[in-house]
Structures are given as C-alpha cells and as structure tokens.
Amino acid sequence: MRVAAIDCGTNSIRLLIADVGRRPEEERTEPHDPYGHRLGCPVRTSPLTDVVRQMIVVRLGEDVDSAGRFSEAALERTFAAVDQYAALIRRHDVEAVRFVATSATRDAANRDVFIQGVKERLGVEPEVIRGGEEAGLSFAGASSLLDPDPARKVLVVDLGGGSTEFVLGTSAGMTHSISTDMGCVRFTERHLHSDPPEETETSMASFETLSFLEDVSQVMPLDETDVVIGVAGTVTTVTAHALGLEDYDPDLIHGAEIDLDRYQQSVDQLLTASRDARAHMPFMHPGRVDVIGAGALIWGTILDYVNTVTDGRVTSAVASEHDILDGIALSLAAGREPQVAG
C-alpha cells in the first residue's frame, strides 16, 4: 500500500510518501553508533519504505501566539507548499492520504480559511488534531525505531514550533501523554529578541521551560524514564551539530545516541551564536536559523530535568528522523479509514 502523510506544524509542513510493509530480511539492523560505544537501545528497520520525504519551512504559526490568527503571508506560503505536495502525490500514484494539522492551527481564529484552502488544493480535509492524538502519533512513529521491550519505559519528546509533546510508554503502547504550549517559534517570539540572546532573555525562557516541566511531571512519572527519544527538526538539528556534520545527513542522525554532556555543549553553542553564525553552519536549514536557539534551550533543559528526576540514570538521548509523520503513515497502514486525494 502506498500512502501519503502530511504534517503541518507551526514552523514547517512535511510530506512523506511511503510504501508500507517491512521485508523479513530487514526486521533488525545494527544500531547506529557514532562514538564507538554500545547503544543502550538497538534500532530496527522501519515498516515504511520512503518514496518521498520532504520539508518546506512555511512559518504558518508566525505571530499566532500574539495575534491569534494566521497572517495572509503565512497562508500564501503554506498553500504554495500544499500545491507542490499535491503534484507529488498525483505523480506517485498514492492510494490514501492523511493531512494532520497541529499546534498553530488549533490556536488560530481563522483556521477555517486554512482548512478550506487545503481541501481545495489537495482534495482531502486537514484534521486539526488535539495534543493527545498528536502525542500518540509521535510515539508510534518514534518508537518504531526501537526493538520491542515491554519492560523499558520510553519517553518521546516531540519538540515543535508551537508546542512540545511528551509521551511515555513501552513497546505495548503509550501510557501517559501531555502537550505543552512551548516551542522554538513561540519561545523565540516570546523571549529571545536580541542577537545573540541576552542572559536575561535566556533566563526567562529557561524559567518558563522548567515551569512547563513541573506541570508535565504532575501528569506522568518522568522519573521512570529509561530511554529518551527526541524527534522533529530542533532535535535533529542539535544532533547534527553534536555530531559535527558537514551537511544535514538524516542517515547519520537517525538512531544516533548522544551523551547529555555533548548535547549540552551543542545547546550552549547554538543558543549563544549570532544568527549570521548559525546561517553559516553547513547542516542548518535556512528556516531554522532564527529559532534554533530557543529550540536548543528547550531541548537542553528537558534533558537536564530528566537526568535529575531519574537520579542520573538517563545519561544520553536518541535522535529519531521517524516522528509524527511516520505515525500518520502507520495509522493509514493500521486500518484507519483513509481519505483519497481528489
């Protein structure tokens, strides 16, 4: 079955066209090991075979936090990207499509304009999902990276532009989830106005991140975490920095396990770098230059918090290129009623 999954978030819109079904000889793979040490969580091959995987930064959620609605410019950028994706879906003979819209769309007063515009261009209606479903899809996509282990507690962190989802579970499925209103775009607009950010600005952003984490800890037992998996563009970009990559290489990033100390070094360097310095980093997507500092700060604060509440048991985190986008595709493969592109 060939499916198309579209994830429209606050910062970017992404497309995955994939064939579903893991070949028996690809059931397991050696874990990616960038530093020569044994990984604590062996990885396996995804049941999805990529045909097209593409991202376009459209900044749909630009100013939504303050204005409460999509700007005309943001809608134009997003609709142009949808037109490109519609052409790719037709070209590759996709059988079923699911379009999911997340944080920014939930918050925008004029979301009906967005929904109608997508439907006219793609032939399917975008689903504006709630944080709980977003978390479940992220967990399904990210946890497909790991070998099944019902005893291992996995924390998946999906750090987006307008929200961050936390999901805790095992290979049997998620047990706890929460969506929080913190993300790289939202926190850049709210806190980090200087270039590079001033200490007072980063302190306020850190304080608010910790406040959100205290709320998360009231909903789920973060102290039971055995493995942390980070997904989405902020995490993979910080990982590219930690690996010292000369360009953005998803094959090297996916499944890489990074020590927390090494992550923190990258977080500090990205946060304190000027926008011009970030723009010249060879792995940096142009659409992330101005928001990666806030994203890195949130990611580093989360990792430090989990390390603390687990009494130092969690000393590394795994980056995954498989996230909510893969979860959307897997939901079609699992028998969810698909929409057929018009």
pLDDT above 90 (res 93): yes
Three-state DSSP state, 250 = helix
Closest CA to 255 of 49, 40, 20, 24: 40
Q: Which of 19-33, 115-129, 194-208 has the lowest mean pLDDT?
A: 19-33
Confidence class for position 319, pLDDT limits 50, 70, 90: very high
pLDDT above 50 (res 27): no
Q: What pLDDT score does 28 carry?
A: 44
Q: What pLDDT score does 38 carry?
A: 37
- Is residue 40 classed exposed, middle or buried when 0-12, 13-18 and 19+ CB atoms within 10 A define those classes? middle
Distance in angstroms (rounded) separating the CA atoms of residues 327 and 330: 5
Q: What pLDDT score does 113 carry?
A: 93
Q: What pLDDT score does 44 carry?
A: 56
Q: How many CA atoms lie within 13 A of 146 on its CB side?
A: 31
Closest CA to 184 of 334, 16, 300, 67: 300
Residue found under tokens 């507690």 = 153
Q: What pLDDT score does 8 carry?
A: 92
Q: Side by side, which strands form the sheet with 257-259?
A: 173-180, 164-170, 154-159, 227-231, 316-320, 257-259
pLDDT above 90 (res 208): yes
Q: What pLDDT score does 46 carry?
A: 66
Confidence class for position 173, pLDDT limits 50, 70, 90: confident
Give residue-wise pLDDT tens across range 212-259: 999 999 999 999 999 999 998 899 999 999 999 999 998 899 889 999
Confidence class for position 25, pLDDT limits 50, 70, 90: very low
pLDDT above 90 (res 103): no
pLDDT above 70 (res 24): no
% of the chain exceeding 70 in pLDDT: 90
Strand bridging mode 173-180 / 127-128: unpaired
Q: Which of 86-95, 242-251, 294-303 has the lowest mean pLDDT?
A: 242-251
Q: Which of 132-136, 160-164, 308-312 has the lowest mean pLDDT?
A: 132-136
Of 159-163, 169-173, 304-308, which one has max mean pLDDT?
304-308
Distance in angstroms (rounded) separating the CA atoms of residues 152 and 229: 13
φ, ψ dihedrals at 54, nearest 5°: -140, 145
Q: What pLDDT score does 335 carry?
A: 62
Domains of the chain: 2-130+325-333 (3.30.420.40), 148-324 (3.30.420.150)
Give residue-wise pLDDT tens across range 270-282: 999 999 999 999 9
* pLDDT averaged over every residue in the chain: 86
Give residue-wise pLDDT tens across range 40-64: 554 555 678 889 999 998 988 888 8
pLDDT above 80 (res 308): yes
Q: What pLDDT score does 311 carry?
A: 96
Mean local confidence (pLDDT), 154-181: 88
